[in-house]
Structure 1
Amino acid sequence: MMSYFSRHSVKQFIRGKPIRYGYKMWCLCEPNGYLIQYMLYQGKESNRPHSDLGVGGLKLANRLQELGVGYTGTIMANKIEKCPANAPKIKKKVLVSQPHVIAKYNKYMGSVDRIDENIDRCRIPIRSKKWWWANFAFCIDTSVHNAWQIYGRNPDNKLDYLHFRRHIVQVYFLKYGYPPTHSGRGHPKTSKKLDGRVPEEVRYDGLNHWMVPAEKQNRCALCKKNSTKKM
């Protein structure tokens, strides 16, 4: 679920969920929570009015029976109607071998819950009435989470999810940010000095960090050293 509190036709309310109001997402994840694909739930109405979903069930069952292949589902090959097993000898617990499909289901069933748990620890808390903002924030959160999952595959990397996000923010601030300005009396209250060292992600990104000469000198928006004064 993606939290969204404004009005939209796709918005849902699901009681008992950690996020009750918002968009519902269908997610395909790996066992560790790595998101492979997701799709936004857009309502029960389908854009394909002539869908053949479920029509070929009986034809498929007859074809499998002709080939001698067993099947199960809504149509069962050995179904016995109104035959409850009430005998204690029949209803006793017996150890059986676990089918391969059950083992696969137990392996992948908690993957979506794992990615929800990790993202909810430091989700983007900014709210907006725009319908697209929740999807945009979800894309950022899942992209950072997938990057952290790839980062954690190396046993030498020991950053947790919170410090990994903080490191990404620091890299972008040093590359695209501006130094903080102080307007007021007294000295700015800073706990420590800013680290002016260029991070390794910027140094070794494969780009040429050379100074490009400009044709004319621009004015500085923060100071008046290079500004032109009228007399």
Structure 2
Amino acid sequence: MYGLGPSVILHLCKRVSLTGHELYYDNYFSSYNLLQVLKAKKIFAAGTIRINRFSNPPVISDKEGKKRERGYSQEVSSLDGDVVVVKWLDNRGVVLASNYIGIGEEDKVKRWDKKSSKYIEVSRPEIVKRYNHGMGGVDLLDQLVSLYRIFIRSKKWTLRMIFHALDLAIVNSWLEYREDGKNSGTPQSNILDLLDFRLRVAEGFVRAGKPIQENKSGRPSSDSSPVFAKRQNCEKRPFREVQLDSVDHLPEHDGKKEPTRCKQVNCTQRSHIFCKKCEVHLCINRGRNCFVNFHK
């Protein structure tokens, strides 16, 4: 009856029991009937629209808009007064519709002007201000997902949906992790950026709780991944998920002439013993067992 996009909005709104909520969405979900239904439910809604879904309201065309100054806006209301359509001229025409707000109280925003090569102030309708504020989280999420999206060759929509869901989960987890770090007073330098966070999650899934993968003997096959030589004297500390998983942490002698500094906290000893899984040196002495303490 309402179409796929509006039906999704109405389905999600079933959980909204209290009145007075504000709801924002983009043009894929917008329709005239949807705004009417949401108004009957006392939910304030606004979003960008596609003109052909609103019976082509009498707003100025993009060609006419080029003759107007930047920041010009036009408001058109439905006959029953339930829906307001606003067209705002920024770099290009932007059309929005709402069941509770139109041009309203305009404010000033700075925009880059190519002709004068400087920032200028243009008027902005209230509906655009509220929409930008409400959609900021969604736009930011889309931007972050696009930075390191999981690449998949398959054209099957099921696989694409699964990997897109993984991207959404990782980005949302990183946003919560960053917010928790700020609230707990963690220095900004100690908070992982999105790429390091993704790498840490990936390595945790690959290595945590898994036994050591022994290297195969003989020549590598032609389809195997290339092997890159490790830099000398380069030890990286394992992630906590790998360090504490209690799986296959086996000691081995490095066979070097000189011992390497123990990586246990507050230990100044040197050792030839290293953990095969964590790939860090740890000492085992009569009065001190850093190998065991490191993995607790």
TM-score by length of 1: 0.42
Q: Which structure dedicates a bigger proportion of its chain to helix?
A: 2
Q: Which structure dedicates a bigger proportion of its chain to strand?
A: 2
Q: Which protein has greater RCO, CA pairs closer than 8 Å, 6+ apart?
A: 1
TM-score by length of 2: 0.34
